[in-house]
Amino acid sequence: MNSRNAPLSPVSSVSGTDWSYPPPSKDGPYSLSNKNRGQLISPPNSAGSFEAMNGGFQPGPRSAGGPSPPPSIGRSSTATNIYARSETGSRYTVDEAQQDAILGEHYVALKQFLSATSRDGKPTLPPNKARDKLQRLTSVQFLELSTDVYDELRRREVSARRPSNAPANGGPPAFLLPQENFHPKRNQARQKLSSLGPPRFRDLATDVFCELERRIPRFIAQEVPRLGSPVSSYPPRGANRRRPSEASSSNTIVPNKSTMLEEDDDLGTLGDGDAYPIDNMSDGRQSKRSVTERSETDRKLIEDYESQVRELRDKLDGMEDVIKRKEDEMANMINGERSRVDTASTEKRAWDDARDRLERELSEARNRNASLQQELDRRENEELRRALEEQRQVTNDVRREANVILSEMRTLSQQSSSVWVKQSDLEKTIETLEGEVRDWRNRQWSAVVASVRKITKDIDDSAHVDETLAQQVAKLKPRVSLTANNLITASRNFAGSAGISPVSLLDAAASHLVSAVVELLRSVKIRPTPSAELDDDVEDTETPVDSAGFVSSRSTTQSQTPLAHLASPRGGGDGDDVAPDTREQALQLKEFLDNQTSLLVQTIQDLVTRIRDNAAIDQLAPEIEAISGLVQHVVARTAEALGGGAAQLTERLESGRERLLEAGAQGRELVREGNDTRSREWRMWTATLPPISFEIARETKELAQRIDRLAGIEDADDFS
């Protein structure tokens, strides 16, 4: 039997070099080795709260944690190892789809930036040697570099958009602020990015942009994934993105010490059997030759096993040394962790004590705040009570003053009522006297006007043969007409001035008329008057003076209402110009106005009586409506008689009616608001009704007087 085909232990098939543990990782300053496994550098959260740290601008997507690139990453040959980090020692791997979305957003931002700052609007530039060095970075290292450049780009864009006059303390920081989950050297590199000038920063952004297009070619075809969008449909970017298999994670088989001991026992048993090989054979079947061959074979087999055992023991000794060294390292790490735990526990107790102290201080502050609030409430309550008492005192004083004023108003109202009655009596007396004056005026003027009319008529009817006489008469006749008009004007002024105008003016006008008539008669001579004409003269003196015959041919015929010309300031409203039917209509209008005025006065007196009796709105509203209806009837009748000229005469009367209606509406509104007859607002409202009513009555009487004056002799006659 071949000695090399004997059965061996399973551990014998492993080479001697495979029993040693792999050496510690030589990753660099930021690798995740066993000694710092308790302080793993976690990747930053791309959606985390970075806005407050970067001065208010929106952060870009983050990469896994690690060191940051220096400003000369694309220009220096020594800068490529800054982001170098062993991926075998990291326990965190960013999802490929998430990395694609983050890099896609970086690609879009860099493309917009380079397109806006280039001359021809194209973001790409010719390749250079510094850009080729980025190809040696791993995917995680390149993601960190792209994230830092993207954050610096956003910070610069926010700074550029700020107005020049904005406050300095409200804008973004002058550099990227450090983050706790980043390595200190990466935070330093991120901070140094702000010191790059615009050309150098644009070159760095160009390098990252070109490397993005090289690593992910589908970005050039506008296939850029978005954060938060379904990106699982994109295939992996290549073999360099494949996760390491579990089988390749370790190529070392750890031996089982108990198995090795059992193998030693087997070897020992084999050796004992070899010392006594003849006991196991039959005495009649073994020859001396077979015994010799078996002994030689067993000896060689034993030597082989012994050599294997020695090798295994040497390996075991080496493994024990390695295990002891690892145990020492583990003990050191455990001691370090325990010391850190003790330090953390001490700090935690200190923080707990500080928290308890702050909670006690907060409780005390809350108690003091509550007591101060109670004191403030008490003082505010006292101040409000004092203010309320003062307001009540002021209200009582105002109420007493209002009662006094109301009493005075009632007294004045009673006095005004008696004065109103006296005024009505005086107005009636004045109207009677004015009527007598008009009658006497017509009587005195009738003879003068009739005589002048006859003289001028006779002169017009007579035929003048002498041309010189005709010219002289033509000159003297206008003088007679002028002096007659002057006499009428002087008489009217004297009557209107109530005796203030001097009588000498009236005498002078009469003397001038006499002189003109005498001069005219002297020129045309006098003839005897026939008896028939004497009878006509007697009849003319008994009839009212009609000056229609004295109007010259220059006056035009009016096409308005019969009394329309009386309303105009310069119209033929003269009593001598009024036709008999026009005068009759004027007298009828005046009589109507007198009757309406009497009814209006009676209604106003009823309204005042109800106001004194504190009547409700239901009793006052009918009186107000009655007064408004009377005024409306008067205005309509006046407009019908005078036509377009009535608006000027009835303007104030119409205004008083509108004010009375507004007051009535205000009273109804007070009732709807809940005010009764004893409230102050109601008394103030009722005090406004009598003055408005009295004004309406006065305007109505004044309108009647105006119509009466317009119907009389207002304008001078024209005797030409």
The DSSP result for 85-137, as a single string, is --STT------HHHHHHHHHHHHHHHHHHHHHHSSSS-------HHHHGGGGS
Mean pLDDT to the nearest integer, 343-357 = 93
More confident residue, 95 or 606: 606
Give the model confidence (pLDDT) of 459-498 as tens digits. Answer: 777 766 677 877 888 888 888 888 888 887 777 777 777 6
Give the model confidence (pLDDT) of 24-70 as tens digits. Answer: 333 333 333 333 333 333 333 333 333 333 444 444 444 444 444 43
- 119 φ, ψ to 5°? -75, -40
Give the model confidence (pLDDT) of 278-288 as tens digits. Answer: 333 344 444 55
pLDDT of residue 89: 36
Report which of 130, 138, 157 is spatially closest to residue 60, judged by C-alpha positions. Answer: 157
Contact of 312 with 11, CB cutoff 8 Å: yes
pLDDT at 558 over 70: no
Contact of 285 with 317, CB cutoff 8 Å: no
> H or E segment at 352?
helix 288-461
More confident residue, 609 or 582: 609
pLDDT of residue 120: 60
pLDDT of residue 137: 86
Q: pTM for this one?
A: 0.27
Give the model confidence (pLDDT) of 394-439 as tens digits. Answer: 999 999 888 888 888 888 877 777 777 788 788 888 888 877 766 6
Tokens read off for 195: 């010191």
The domain spans of the chain are 21-242, 262-275+287-413, 446-554, 580-711
Residue 369 and residue 361: Cα distance in Å, rounded? 12
pLDDT of residue 350: 94
More confident residue, 115 or 391: 391
Residue 500 and residue 335: Cα distance in Å, rounded? 133
pLDDT at 591 over 90: no
Least confident of 158-162, 362-366, 521-525, 566-570: 566-570
- Tell me the residue type at 493: N
pLDDT of residue 366: 94
118: Cβ contacts below 8 Å, ≥ 6 apart: none
Going through 195-244 in order, the beta strands assigned E by DSSP cover none
DSSP 572: S
pLDDT of residue 383: 93
Report which of 140, 172, 143, 161 is spatially closest to residue 50, judged by C-alpha positions. Answer: 172
Residue 249 and residue 245: Cα distance in Å, rounded? 7
pLDDT of residue 237: 42
Q: Kindly report the CATH class assigned to 580-711.
A: mainly alpha
pLDDT of residue 66: 41
Least confident of 227-236, 409-418, 654-663: 227-236
pLDDT of residue 22: 36
20: Cβ contacts below 8 Å, ≥ 6 apart: 252, 318, 319, 322
- Tell me the residue type at 94: V
Residue 125 and residue 261: Cα distance in Å, rounded? 70
Residue 448 and residue 450: Cα distance in Å, rounded? 5
